[in-house]
């Protein structure tokens, strides 16, 4: 049957397993049973879920929590004195903590291989990813969420690139040296009702001078620019820089819905989609009900298909990809709650699209972005 075609594997552009393995000591090699709703302490992206969902590649995002959380979320302030890991995250400088996270991922994969066998390996280059796939293994790639990890020092960019970071989301939850951000906390979340997340947003702001230099360097060295969490003006300025750059590099939004179905500043407009397509980039569809539709719905089949159709309408077949944001403290749909449920997504897509199209959506478009955007190749 088409859904069992081995070429219809998944390359997921945005996941967060190290948030759970580092902060909560969850074991990647163990099978977990995550629920179909927000539950921060479970691990969704474990080895068994990847194998069963035919996920052949995933980008694991390093994310060291910004210090803005301390001012914006009082329960974290209460926990900090009793949680040594949390205290270190907010005490150490972010670039050093980012290196610790990268080292931690290497350890997680070594531990998994020792316990479960050689099913998975970290790829530090595009050619390594291809070699890992040729050996029948899952490739896990390093990415980074937020330019705050650079700690204001552009020299750190080259260091992280040499450590295998293939993509960086420049904005994230709070303003950093490069840019401002949009609101990424759902209005419906309980913590808002308890007085958290009151920051003000400046949607008209774009790149700082430092941010412009950062984008130029990323385009130069071949670290993929991810615009997720950026303001509309930020997205415009990044796309302008990419269009003017001497090397054609893909620009992406890795884990979003679309503005037409969920009209939040977080989500790309038809113009954003068109311009991302012009760079050779992709829009990765998120497994989070809130960003997929307004009003939010708990089962995502219909809205996911509508999202794919909207992306094709404004960008063609080559712009569709997936970036689940699994393990990023997200409110998942009931029918797409872990990598295992990529089996559902694959079946839904095959009801409407050809095998060739579905192959592009699940892996081909994302692989093209890595081939053209990562490094010098």
Mean pLDDT of the chain: 96
pLDDT for the residue numbered 248: 94
- Residue closest to 44 by CA, chosen among 329, 260, 238, 239: 329
- Judge if pTM exceeds 0.75: yes
Kindly tell me the burial class for residue 270, based on how many C-beta atoms sit within 10 Å of its own C-beta (0-12, 13-18, 19 or more). middle
pLDDT tens-digit profile of 156-175? 999 999 999 999 999 999 99
**Cβ atoms within 10 Å, residue 107:** 12
Asked if 289 contacts 186 with a C-beta cutoff of 8 angstroms, the reply is no
pLDDT tens-digit profile of 237-248? 999 999 999 999
pLDDT at 4 over 90: no
**What whole-number distance in Å separates Cα of residue 176 and Cα of residue 328?**
20
Mark out the alpha helices in the chain (DSSP H runs).
17-23, 47-52, 68-72, 74-79, 84-91, 94-116, 126-134, 155-162, 190-193, 209-221, 232-244, 270-279, 289-292, 301-315, 342-352, 355-359, 365-373
**Cβ atoms within 10 Å, residue 193:** 9
Torsional class of 329: left (φ above 0), alpha (ψ -120 to 50), beta (otherwise): left
pLDDT tens-digit profile of 313-360? 999 999 999 999 999 999 999 999 999 999 999 999 999 999 999 999
Domains along the sequence of the chain with CATH: 2-373 (3.20.20.140)
pLDDT tens-digit profile of 241-284? 999 999 999 999 999 999 999 999 999 999 999 999 999 999 99
């Amino acid at each position: 049957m088409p859904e069992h075609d081995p070429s219809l594997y998944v390359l997921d552009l945005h996941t967060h397993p190290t948030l759970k393995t580092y902060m909560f000591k969850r074991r990647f090699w163990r099978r977990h049973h995550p629920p179909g709703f927000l539950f921060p302490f479970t691990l969704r992206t474990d080895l068994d879920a990847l194998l069963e969902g035919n996920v052949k590649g995933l980008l694991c995002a390093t994310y060291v929590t910004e210090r803005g959380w301390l001012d914006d979320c009082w329960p974290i302030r209460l926990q900090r004195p009793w949680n040594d890991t949390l205290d270190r995250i907010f005490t150490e400088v972010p670039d050093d903590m980012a290196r610790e996270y990268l080292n931690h991922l290497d350890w997680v994969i070594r531990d998994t291989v020792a316990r479960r066998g050689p099913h998975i390996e970290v790829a530090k280059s595009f050619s390594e990813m291809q070699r890992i796939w040729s050996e029948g293994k899952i490739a896990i790639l390093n990415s980074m969420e937020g330019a705050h990890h650079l700690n204001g020092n552009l020299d750190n960019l080259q260091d992280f690139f040499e450590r295998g970071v293939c993509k960086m989301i420049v904005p994230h939850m709070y303003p950093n040296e490069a840019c401002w951000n949009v609101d990424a906390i759902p209005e419906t979340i309980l913590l808002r009702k308890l007085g958290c997340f009151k920051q003000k947003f400046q949607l008209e702001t774009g790149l700082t001078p430092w941010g412009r230099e950062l984008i130029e360097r990323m385009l130069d060295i071949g670290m993929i620019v991810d615009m997720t969490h950026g303001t509309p003006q930020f997205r415009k300025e990044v796309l302008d820089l990419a269009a003017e750059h001497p090397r054609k590099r893909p620009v992406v939004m890795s884990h979003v819905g679309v503005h037409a179905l969920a009209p939040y500043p977080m989500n790309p407009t038809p113009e954003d989609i068109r311009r991302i397509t012009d760079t050779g980039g992709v829009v990765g569809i998120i497994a989070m009900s809130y960003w997929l539709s307004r009003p939010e719905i708990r089962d995502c089949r219909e809205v996911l298909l509508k999202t794919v159709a909207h992306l094709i309408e404004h960008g063609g077949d080559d712009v569709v990809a997936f970036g689940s944001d699994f393990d990023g403290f997200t409110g998942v749909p009931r029918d797409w709650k872990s990598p295992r449920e990529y089996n559902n997504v694959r079946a839904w897509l095959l009801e409407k699209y050809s095998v060739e199209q579905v192959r592009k959506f699940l892996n081909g478009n994302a692989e093209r972005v890595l081939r053209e955007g990562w490094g010098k190749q």
